[in-house]
């Protein structure tokens, strides 16, 4: 029943490791996003995909690489993890409906780099 699901919910890893976060939505939305929420709860967009095509790529280190195998999935791979990457990462999806743009967020992945 979960609309936007992310795995894992928690991720603790050492500096220098490579890790992936997976996201899937079953809403039939055509656009998916990755947002980063820092320790002060500030939400900032990282990437956006529309029908598997990258449409937004904010100023994010190239250690972060999103991949969208189909429009229902958007994964995030992070290479050479750094302490500053510790945050909560949210996946979201949206579709244009009568001019409204309701985002649906997943429950987040709390990444802790030690």
User: Interface residues with another protein (CB under 8 A)?
Assistant: 4, 31, 40-45, 48, 50, 55-56, 90, 92, 94, 99-108
Residue in the structure block whose two tokens are 């949210």: 90
Q: Residue 103 Cβ, how far from another protein at the closest point, in Å?
A: 6
Q: Residue 113 Cβ, how far from another protein at the closest point, in Å?
A: 20
Euclidean distance between CA atoms 28 and 8, whole angstroms: 22
DSSP code at position 80: S
Q: Residue 33 Cβ, how far from another protein at the closest point, in Å?
A: 8
Tokens of 73: 């999935």
């Amino acid at each position: 029943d979960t609309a936007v699901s992310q795995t894992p919910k928690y991720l603790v890893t050492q500096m220098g490791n490579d890790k992936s976060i997976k996201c899937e939505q079953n809403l039939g939305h055509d656009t998916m996003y990755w947002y980063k929420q820092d320790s002060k709860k500030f939400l900032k967009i990282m990437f956006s995909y529309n029908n598997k095509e990258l449409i937004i790529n904010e100023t994010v280190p190239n250690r972060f690489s999103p991949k969208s195998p189909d429009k229902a999935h958007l994964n995030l791979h992070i290479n050479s993890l750094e302490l500053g990457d510790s945050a909560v990462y949210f996946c979201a999806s949206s579709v244009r409906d009568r001019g409204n743009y309701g985002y649906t967020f997943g429950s987040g992945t709390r990444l802790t780099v030690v």
